[in-house]
Chain A
């Protein structure tokens, strides 16, 4: 069959979606590696630190293998045409993250200051929850277009999630950023979940409004200027991002949501002018807020001169601002790793102390696996993003396209903001490296994100139903599968 048999897709899809092989066996083969590599890494850490293969190797390997196996079987049954790379890549990152978290659990320094010790078993539990949610998404969400129905409910849900950290008694202020809530002893980052829910809202909203936003405009200096009233939605999202920045003092989350919206708006309307507006507005917002918010000023200063911040922190300077040596410690970790790294278990990234196994987990990889390891990890993240966008390209419905590109774009922005912050490319923000960092919210939400992407790609790559059979032809077709 050729794509011309399906007139609805031949002009939007560039890949031969119809009749594509399911690639489930490719996925299985890749999954074997995705489980085996972390298991070897785990053994490596144990041998380096304690001179013995860690006792938990078997249960850990089996646990990760079992989770990956369940995920694979569910995909095979309920999303047989889904993208074959996303699940193994996510599993590999999750597994490597577990190894690094376990490695930092062994650090006597972090144990002494109670920053680690039993994080790895918890993270394995979070992974199980994440995969459960992933399975749940694939089981319950038979078609992603169902989500369109919940456009405005999603908006309300996302707003609630975003505002939760501001509720007194529920919200937590950790090192200046208020993006956590505390429930029954667990810290949750609602922003991680809001990311997905918000993508659903934007996709549903933009699908309906995109024509109005794209066509009703005036031309000015080679750009299409939107009408005043169509500026409404972008102004609202911008205002909310600014509010997040002001009240939760978190540059990363704010940037993430606004960036995601601009990306989706651009894809929906195909108007470059939205990108220009978006960049101008985020620049104005960030500079405006930074001019009076001391927390953000500190972050910028730490980015411009991490050494000074390190010394202020060492001298215990108390001037109303929390000076942190983390930025410099992270740079030292990366630099000390050099090209090939010190080897797993043989670095000193525990010197970062606070959040060494969450926001700064990448520094552990930087030091122990070196430049080679960091480049591999960044490329894996890049692959996940590009597979997500490929899913968007292949999707046949605008809602699916928008949702897939929104989720992938948010994922890319998050990776950039976190890795860029830890490596000193941009100021630090309090977000976590997807799949790798210690933290339940992040792992669970990102597994759900992968689940949604797999669902969209399954729909996109699934062969179109065969044309209604001709009764005359029926007579002559004897052999049927």
Chain B
């Protein structure tokens, strides 16, 4: 009987071995993914067991932590509170005991909770000296005056979004979306929090206040896209100056169709120079430029400005769209910001910023640095060049065209005393047969007397209350852009 006994001994050994291998699998190989699984409540417990670090704008925190009562079923000690929550929500995102965390609150969660590996040494030291764990801070690039101007401007006008950038670095100065939500309202885990959360969901609220329109919504950019088309014309040598006449018949029948491309009104567009065409916003001129250059070159130019890719600021921004495999007429429509072309407000701000920065597109970012609990810098973001969509000479030609638009064209509402402003309006049609109210766009930059450009801005307004004819980028969006640019310039003085 001993031979089978030995075999049974080996069999039992194999059973134990299988358990040992399994425990190595889940506790070593899979440990990290299980530990950091957002559904694993330990993640939430760690997040709220100590006061969270803060998100900082202009040296003062826009977030805070509040101690709440705990019991057996609610083991979370602190909840997040926000100052001016709705205004800053597109930047901070939210950190809710019941509904997880998004955007900066999620991306830099490790620093804010103090669990980041880079804080390991410090945490170990704290553990030995018996100090409680603390979270670090996230210092943003935002400018509170510009943010306020952007948010209040949108609030007056209705739905929309504003993005302001510092062209020379890519710093995000303002990032506003309206309607917005107060992340404080559902930060806890009571019934009231759940009710507030449900009210904000898209299915219960058609305005979709939790949508970050500045980064996550793409709109047809309309005429503001004409600056991209103008840049392509200059870069590919179709035209070499702002003031030479273009080869633009009027009316212009789109190639392969019998349909003329219409201008918005009776405009002096026949063989107009690009400066003139941009000033009055000729569809025919820029549509034909796009059609002449072709789909490939237009797409190439759009890509250089950052279209067709997601951007991480570090909060993700959706990719803006410029299609490939279009025929000539579709390319013409796309080149005036219609057809499939769609852009996030961030994307259009990047276009304006690249032109203002003499053709160098900087990677947009909103986190200046991460700080340890003792305010040492753990990580400092360095400005980074993303691409060169156009040469500095061509950028300056484009600047002079955009300055004409503001000086005596459709963008007069953005003029600022003593400051050179360049811009472009846009009114984008959308909906089936253009049945819905158009979007009003304005992109612009400001230039101070020393020639440097402190701010580029993109504004989009979806206004349900305005009359159709009233909606034009110059009337609705330009005044908001002006306020934001003024706020940035004043805060630099």
B21-50 residues at the A interface, CB under 8 angstroms: 22-24, 26-28, 30-35, 37, 39-42, 45
When C-beta atoms are compared, the residue in chain A nearest to B39 turns out to be A310
Give the residue of A111, A370, A412, A423 whose beta carbon is less than 8 angstroms from that of B16: A412
| Chain A residues within 8 Å of B34, by CB | 331-332, 334-336
Q: Bound state CA distance, A420 and B37, in angstroms?
A: 22
The answer to whether A351 has its CB under 8 Å from any CB of chain B is yes
Are B12 and A382 in contact (CB-based, < 8 A)? yes
Per-residue interface assignment for chain A, residues 343 to 376, with 1 indicating a CB less than 8 Å from any chain B CB and 0 otherwise? 0000010010000000000000010001100110
B148-163 residues at the A interface, CB under 8 angstroms: none
The answer to whether A386 has its CB under 8 Å from any CB of chain B is yes
Stretch from A23-31, A134-142, A222-230, A401-409 forming part of the interface with B: A401-409
Q: Bound state CA distance, A213 and B85, in angstroms?
A: 80
Q: Bound state CA distance, A405 and B8, in angstroms?
A: 8
| Chain A residues within 8 Å of B24, by CB | 371, 375
The answer to whether B131 has its CB under 8 Å from any CB of chain A is no
Are A267 and B35 in contact (CB-based, < 8 A)? no
The answer to whether A285 has its CB under 8 Å from any CB of chain B is no
Are A371 and B2 in contact (CB-based, < 8 A)? no
Give the residue of B19, B40, B71 whose beta carbon is less than 8 angstroms from that of A332: B40
Q: Within the complex, what minimum Cβ distance (angstroms) separates B303 from chain A?
A: 38
Are B72 and A113 in contact (CB-based, < 8 A)? yes
| Chain A residues within 8 Å of B45, by CB | 348
The answer to whether A90 has its CB under 8 Å from any CB of chain B is no
The answer to whether B314 has its CB under 8 Å from any CB of chain A is no
Since A263-B8, A267-B5, A405-B5 are in contact, a sample of 17 more A-B pairs with Cβ atoms closer than 8 Å, ordered by chain A residue number, is A267-B4, A331-B26, A332-B34, A332-B40, A332-B41, A335-B27, A348-B45, A370-B27, A385-B16, A389-B5, A389-B8, A393-B6, A398-B1, A416-B16, A416-B18, A416-B19, A425-B19
Q: Bound state CA distance, A409 and B7, in angstroms?
A: 12
Q: Bound state CA distance, A382 and B20, in angstroms?
A: 10
The answer to whether A297 has its CB under 8 Å from any CB of chain B is no
The answer to whether A109 has its CB under 8 Å from any CB of chain B is yes
| Chain B residues within 8 Å of A423, by CB | 19, 22-23, 26
Per-residue interface assignment for chain A, residues 158 to 197, with 1 indicating a CB less than 8 Å from any chain B CB and 0 otherwise? 0000000000000000000000000000000000000000
Q: Bound state CA distance, A407 and B167, in angstroms?
A: 78
Are A112 and B28 in contact (CB-based, < 8 A)? no
Question: Given that A270-B1, A381-B16 are contacting pairs, would A334 and B26 also be in contact in the complex, using a CB cutoff of 8 Å?
Answer: yes
Are B18 and A332 in contact (CB-based, < 8 A)? no
Q: Which of A110, A310, A423, A424 has the most CB of B within 10 A?
A: A423
Q: Within the complex, what minimum Cβ distance (angstroms) separates A213 from chain B?
A: 13
Q: Within the complex, what minimum Cβ distance (angstroms) separates A421 from chain B?
A: 11
| Chain B residues within 8 Å of A337, by CB | 27, 31
The answer to whether A419 has its CB under 8 Å from any CB of chain B is yes
Q: Bound state CA distance, A370 and B31, in angstroms?
A: 10
| Chain A residues within 8 Å of B12, by CB | 382, 385-386, 389, 408-409, 412
Q: Bound state CA distance, A409 and B73, in angstroms?
A: 42
User: Which 3 pairs across A and B sit closest by C-beta, in order of nearness?
Assistant: A335-B34, A112-B72, A108-B72
The answer to whether A378 has its CB under 8 Å from any CB of chain B is yes
Are A335 and B2 in contact (CB-based, < 8 A)? no
Are B39 and A266 in contact (CB-based, < 8 A)? no
Q: Bound state CA distance, A374 and B411, in angstroms?
A: 71
Q: Bound state CA distance, A307 and B73, in angstroms?
A: 22
The answer to whether B9 has its CB under 8 Å from any CB of chain A is yes
| Chain B residues within 8 Å of A378, by CB | 16, 19-20, 23
When C-beta atoms are compared, the residue in chain B nearest to A351 turns out to be B41
Are B23 and A374 in contact (CB-based, < 8 A)? yes
The answer to whether B75 has its CB under 8 Å from any CB of chain A is yes
Q: Within the complex, what minimum Cβ distance (angstroms) separates A345 from chain B?
A: 14
| Chain A residues within 8 Å of B28, by CB | 338-339, 371
| Chain B residues within 8 Å of A307, by CB | 39
Q: Bound state CA distance, A201 and B1, in angstroms?
A: 18
Q: Bound state CA distance, A405 and B2, in angstroms?
A: 11
When C-beta atoms are compared, the residue in chain A nearest to B35 turns out to be A336
Question: Given that A111-B72, A419-B19 are contacting pairs, would A374 and B27 also be in contact in the complex, using a CB cutoff of 8 Å?
Answer: yes
User: Which residues of A are in contact with B by a Cβ distance under 8 Å?
Assistant: 12, 14, 107-113, 263, 266-268, 270, 307, 310, 328, 331-332, 334-339, 348, 351, 366, 370-371, 374-375, 378-379, 381-382, 385-386, 389-390, 392-393, 398, 401-402, 405, 408-409, 412-413, 415-416, 419-420, 423-425
When C-beta atoms are compared, the residue in chain B nearest to A411 turns out to be B12
Are A336 and B40 in contact (CB-based, < 8 A)? yes
Q: Within the complex, what minimum Cβ distance (angstroms) separates A277 from chain B?
A: 15
Are B1 and A401 in contact (CB-based, < 8 A)? yes
Are A420 and B16 in contact (CB-based, < 8 A)? no
The answer to whether B128 has its CB under 8 Å from any CB of chain A is no
| Chain B residues within 8 Å of A108, by CB | 71-72, 75
Question: Given that A378-B19, A412-B16, A420-B18 are contacting pairs, would A14 and B2 also be in contact in the complex, using a CB cutoff of 8 Å?
Answer: yes
Are A348 and B71 in contact (CB-based, < 8 A)? no
| Chain B residues within 8 Å of A338, by CB | 27-28, 31, 35
Question: Given that A389-B9, A393-B5 are contacting pairs, would A335 and B26 also be in contact in the complex, using a CB cutoff of 8 Å?
Answer: yes
| Chain B residues within 8 Å of A379, by CB | 16, 20
Q: List 8 A-B contacts (CB under 8 A).
A: A266-B4, A335-B26, A335-B34, A351-B41, A375-B20, A389-B5, A393-B6, A412-B12
The answer to whether B13 has its CB under 8 Å from any CB of chain A is yes
| Chain A residues within 8 Å of B33, by CB | 335
| Chain B residues within 8 Å of A328, by CB | 39
Are A366 and B4 in contact (CB-based, < 8 A)? no
The answer to whether B15 has its CB under 8 Å from any CB of chain A is yes
The answer to whether B203 has its CB under 8 Å from any CB of chain A is no
Q: Bound state CA distance, A207 and B73, in angstroms?
A: 56
Are A109 and B75 in contact (CB-based, < 8 A)? yes
Q: Bound state CA distance, A274 and B23, in angstroms?
A: 31
The answer to whether B493 has its CB under 8 Å from any CB of chain A is no
When C-beta atoms are compared, the residue in chain A nearest to B4 turns out to be A267
Are A267 and B1 in contact (CB-based, < 8 A)? yes
Q: Bound state CA distance, A409 and B13, in angstroms?
A: 11
Q: Bound state CA distance, A307 and B40, in angstroms?
A: 11
Q: Bound state CA distance, A336 and B42, in angstroms?
A: 8
Are B42 and A348 in contact (CB-based, < 8 A)? yes
Are A112 and B8 in contact (CB-based, < 8 A)? no
Q: Within the complex, what minimum Cβ distance (angstroms) separates A274 from chain B?
A: 10
When C-beta atoms are compared, the residue in chain A nearest to B29 turns out to be A335
| Chain B residues within 8 Å of A14, by CB | 2
Give the residue of B3, B23, B35, B41 whose beta carbon is less than 8 angstroms from that of A270: B3
Question: Given that A263-B8, A389-B5 are contacting pairs, would A109 and B26 also be in contact in the complex, using a CB cutoff of 8 Å?
Answer: no
| Chain B residues within 8 Å of A263, by CB | 8, 11
Question: Given that A412-B12, A412-B16 are contacting pairs, would A392 and B31 also be in contact in the complex, using a CB cutoff of 8 Å?
Answer: no
When C-beta atoms are compared, the residue in chain B nearest to A385 turns out to be B12
When C-beta atoms are compared, the residue in chain A nearest to B23 turns out to be A374
| Chain A residues within 8 Å of B11, by CB | 263
Question: Given that A332-B34, A339-B27 are contacting pairs, would A112 and B5 also be in contact in the complex, using a CB cutoff of 8 Å?
Answer: no
Are A401 and B20 in contact (CB-based, < 8 A)? no
Q: Within the complex, what minimum Cβ distance (angstroms) separates A364 from chain B?
A: 13
| Chain A residues within 8 Å of B27, by CB | 334-335, 337-339, 366, 370-371, 374
Q: Which of B33, B35, B40 has the most CB of A within 10 A?
A: B40
Q: Within the complex, what minimum Cβ distance (angstroms) separates B31 from chain A?
A: 4
Question: Given that A366-B23, A381-B16 are contacting pairs, would A335 and B30 also be in contact in the complex, using a CB cutoff of 8 Å?
Answer: yes
Q: Bound state CA distance, A378 and B11, in angstroms?
A: 15
Are A425 and B73 in contact (CB-based, < 8 A)? no
Give the residue of B15, B31, B71 whose beta carbon is less than 8 angstroms from that of A339: B31
